[in-house]
Amino acid sequence: MLSLKRFSVIVITGIIAVSALSAQAKEKEMTVEESYLQESIQLMIIRETARAESREQKIIALEYIKDAIDHGNTNDEIRQTLEYLSREGRMTVSRENGRVTNNFPDVRRQAAKYLGQMGTEEAQKSLMEIMRFENEPMVLQEAVKSLGDIGINNNNETVAHIAWIARKFDNTNPDNLLAIATIDAFEKLAKKNDGLKSPEAIQILARISEGNYVTPVRERARQLLADLRAYGDN
């Protein structure tokens, strides 16, 4: 694992290098080489911070990632780092005296959110992988929302993954927030794909509309079922 001393040296070195490049940029436009170097340093800092042991450092990595995405950086190394963070405590488990020491659902939740903001097909695949191994509703809710935001539904894969998760919780522990995330995601996917040609989507919406959920959630499900019929009339 990355020692605190080594991590500090990496961050300080990166900050100095980025600052130097920023100063140069004030005097002249950055060359392609300088721009590449700056991005490489930023990615290195993100990667190393995400792989530090503490939750606090992982939160800092997520802040760096948000800034990078906000500035239009969708480099696949960022997606890989988000995928790494989304596995913490689930697929990648650290233990001390038999106790899991890296179970950070809030980190995984933010990772799922930023994958949605990347908006790429690779990010979509990472989100579907999250849904196969995650069990925290708060993380799954964010993954479902992100899949809706991306809007890709090749061969109804996305709808199938969302419907599977919604059905799983509907059978065991109905969750209003996950149900509303499912409805919202289906609505966005329908708008981006000229409707939903999936019996699974209709079935889970029908279950939500009659299930053990608060009235506004059931009504939203019924409304979306009605709206989906309109696509078939076009």
Give pLDDT tens digits for 71-119.
998 899 999 999 999 999 888 888 888 888 889 999 999 999 999 999 9
7 with 57: CB under 8 angstroms? yes
Report if residue 64 sits inside a domain: no
Report if residue 210 sits inside a domain: yes
Report if residue 198 sits inside a domain: yes
Tens of pLDDT, residue by residue over 108-146, are: 999 999 999 999 999 999 999 999 999 999 999 999 999
Query: Which residue range forms the structural domain that includes residue 208?
Result: 151-234
Report if residue 209 sits inside a domain: yes
How many domains does the chain fold into?
1
Highest mean pLDDT: which of 40-54, 91-105, 113-127, 220-234? 113-127
Write down the pLDDT at residue 91: 85
Report if residue 42 sits inside a domain: no
If pLDDT is split at 50, 70 and 90, which confidence band does 26 have?
very low
Q: Does position 4 have pLDDT exceeding 70, yes or no? A: no
Whether the predicted model's global pTM rises above the 0.85 cut: no
Q: Does position 25 have pLDDT exceeding 80, yes or no? A: no
If pLDDT is split at 50, 70 and 90, which confidence band does 30 have?
low
Q: Does position 20 have pLDDT exceeding 80, yes or no? A: no
For 194-210, b/e burial (b = at least 16 CB within 10 A) is ebbebebbbebbebbbe
Which carries the bigger pLDDT value, residue 176 or residue 27? 176
Report if residue 40 sits inside a domain: no
Q: Does position 17 have pLDDT exceeding 50, yes or no? A: no
Mean pLDDT for 49-53 is: 91
Report if residue 134 sits inside a domain: no
Tens of pLDDT, residue by residue over 164-206, are: 999 999 999 999 999 999 999 999 999 999 999 889 999 999 9
Report if residue 203 sits inside a domain: yes
Write down the pLDDT at residue 32: 63
